[in-house]
Amino acid sequence: MAEQREDELCQQIAMMKATSEKRRGGAMLEVTHIQPFWGQPFSEEIDGTPIPPNFREIVVEPFDGTQDPHAYLSIYSFNDLTGSFVSKFVANRVKQPEVADLFDIKQAKGESLKSYLACFNNATIQVDDPDQKFFVKAFQKGLRAGQFSDVLALRRPSNMEEIRTRAKKHVEAEEDQAE
């Protein structure tokens, strides 16, 4: 199949050269600075991958130079290609979490303090603007009412490290009660 395709391409190149020569009135310009590329532009792994038996190659009518080139082209430069590619897949892009997103993290009913703290810590790591005041407020806002939230309300923590230190004792107590 590859040999057949190579023969087809060689024939197309010969036809293009003949057409080009006709247009110039028989005077063919010699181009010596262009290196011909006869190999595959793919890695051996890709090149060695078998083509599925039900694969059908897209048949595109070749451009012979007599038609409108704009009918054949929709991407004219690499910048057009990158812009088009990015715009097609922009919806799939993962949004970088912001500080405001931390206020959406809530401790679920039945969720342990340890689990909530781990979830919140993972979210804070991804935020670009590490402002401890917002982290503390968001953590407290998402925390279910209980002993630990009361402790934090009585003596307000100034940073997340302080919350982690205080939470350690409450996590141990929760785990002891669960046993």
Return the SS3 of 81. Answer: helix
Q: What is the CA radius of gyration of the chain?
A: 33
What are the distances in angstroms from CA 165 to CA 34, 91, 117?
68, 40, 11
What ranges do the domains of the chain cover?
A: 2-74, 99-178
54-100 per-position pLDDT tens digit? 988 888 777 787 888 777 777 878 888 888 888 888 777 778 888 88
| Biggest distance spanned by C-alpha atoms of the chain | 95
| pLDDT (average), residues 117-133 | 88
Whole-number pLDDT of residue 62: 79
Whole-number pLDDT of residue 120: 92
Helix (H) / strand (E) containing 138: helix 132-142
Q: In one letter, which amino acid is 142? A: G
4-46 per-position pLDDT tens digit? 888 888 898 888 888 777 766 655 455 555 555 566 667 788 8
Rounded Cα–Cα distance for residues 50 and 41 (Å): 16
Return the SS3 of 21. Answer: helix
Whole-number pLDDT of residue 104: 92
Q: Nearest 5 degrees, angle CA 47-CA 60-CA 73?
A: 100
Closest-CA residue to 168 (of 102, 108, 134, 117): 117
Whole-number pLDDT of residue 115: 93
More confident residue, 110 or 28: 110
More confident residue, 53 or 67: 53
Residue 106 DSSP code: -
Q: Is the pLDDT of residue 159 over 70?
A: yes
